[in-house]
Amino acid sequence: MSKVETKNFAVSPMFDAGKSQSWYRSLNSDYGPDRAYQIALPVLSEDLYSQAWELIDTQKPYKTRYFAKVINGEKKLVHESDLYSGKDILEGIDPAERRGFVYAQISNAKNRILNSEVGDTFFWISPKQDKAHEPEAECNYTDTFTNKAEVGTNGVIYLSQHKSSKLDTKKSVELMKTFDPNLDIAENDLDGLLSSIGSSKTPYSDSMINRTICELTNTPILSPDVDMDAVKKRADYKAIKYLRAIETITDPNELTRTHAQILLEVVDDSPSSRIIRDEYGVRIMAACTNLLLRSNSVRGLSSSYASSEEKVEYHKGDCEKCNQKNIEIGPCNICKSCE
């Protein structure tokens, strides 16, 4: 595995100490301890994995599956980790996020997927914060997420999600028009981009999507890349550890520290990652000033845990990420424009 580099420390509502414990208590109350364990474990594992993916500097996509289900007469799009509970994709999304566009976009994607044919492919993009249109309080996306959903047989939908800190609104529109030339979006129309779902009969592979993003952003292709299968296996194993912590730890601060340490172990069991310390003294990974805590994946997770930001001192050097020479870089050896 190549050296692990990380950017943002992502924490979902599931990993807010109070919310995770109250959520698990409610599962126990509703279903009993055995079924509560069955429901909780895959959810915690998937959240650890998706958070680790957001943290790690990798061009490999986050891969997962959804299932088209009819539950109590209602058509639902259910993530594979939510099969025990039958939770629909829209149940995890804040209707107010990004002025309601996130909910509207995923609702549109859900409807199109559930009314599609085997082999159909859909694309949508959740762009990083556009400071011209979104005040800091409204959006803290520091990466752009490009989503591809492929409709398979037996109600299985295969989702892959790519991330890039270099895709601004203009380049994101260009990328969407690559997938679906019929889309009518102005080059800097953030709201239009947030509302757009593209479709294509072209079998875009993950490597083709990654190569297109790298070409648009003038970013070199990483090789070798991180072994995300190993990260996934660690998430499965560490989810058991975190579930036991939820069951036994009563102090919210201690549970928060435990979660941060477990996430660190998922990212890299013997961390070679650059690390800082948060307000609890927990080792976490970040690239200099990018200490925003967020989880902006397709599952609709949002921030619920805040970290203090340490003072960052810059010096002249060569950026390890964009290879610019003799510019201002932080202790992580990455320039400000790459953070």
Q: Residue 193 in 3-state DSSP?
A: helix
Boundary (domain end) residue, out of 217, 232, 249:
217
Tally of domains in the chain:
2
CA angle 232, 1, 316 (to 5 degrees): 115
Report the alpha-carbon distance of residue 50 to residue 267 in Å, rounded. 10
Interval 129-134 mean pLDDT: 86
Is the pLDDT assigned to residue 238 strictly greater than 50?
A: yes
Residue 54's closest CA among 290, 332, 249?
290
Interval 259-276 mean pLDDT: 66
Residue 150's closest CA among 127, 184, 116?
116
Torsion over CA of 33, 37, 38 and 42, rounded to 10 degrees?
160
Is the pLDDT assigned to residue 200 strictly greater than 70?
A: yes
By the 8 A CB rule, do 71 and 84 touch?
Answer: no
Residue 114's closest CA among 151, 84, 89?
151
Q: pLDDT over 90 for what percent of the chain?
A: 47
Q: Is residue 226 part of a domain?
A: yes
Q: Dump pLDDT digits (tens) for 303-319.
A: 222 233 334 456 677 77
**Is the backbone peptide bond immediately before 331 cis, with ω within 30 degrees of 0?**
no
| 146 and 274 together in one domain | no
| 67 and 136 together in one domain | yes
| 76 and 202 together in one domain | yes
Is the pLDDT assigned to residue 199 strictly greater than 80?
A: yes
Q: Dump pLDDT digits (tens) for 146-180.
A: 999 999 999 999 999 999 989 999 999 999 999 99
Q: Dump pLDDT digits (tens) for 9-51.
A: 333 434 566 778 888 999 999 999 999 999 999 999 998 898 8
Q: Dump pLDDT digits (tens) for 251-260.
A: 888 888 888 8
Q: Is residue 262 part of a domain?
A: yes
Residue type, 80: E
**Predicted TM-score (pTM) of this structure:** 0.76
Boundary (domain end) residue, out of 190, 217, 244:
217
Buried b or exposed e, range 79-114, using 16+ CB within 10 angstroms: bebbebbebbbeebbeeebbeebbbebbeebbebbb
| 179 and 275 together in one domain | no
| 187 and 115 together in one domain | yes
| 144 and 236 together in one domain | no
Report the alpha-carbon distance of residue 64 to residue 277 in Å, rounded. 31
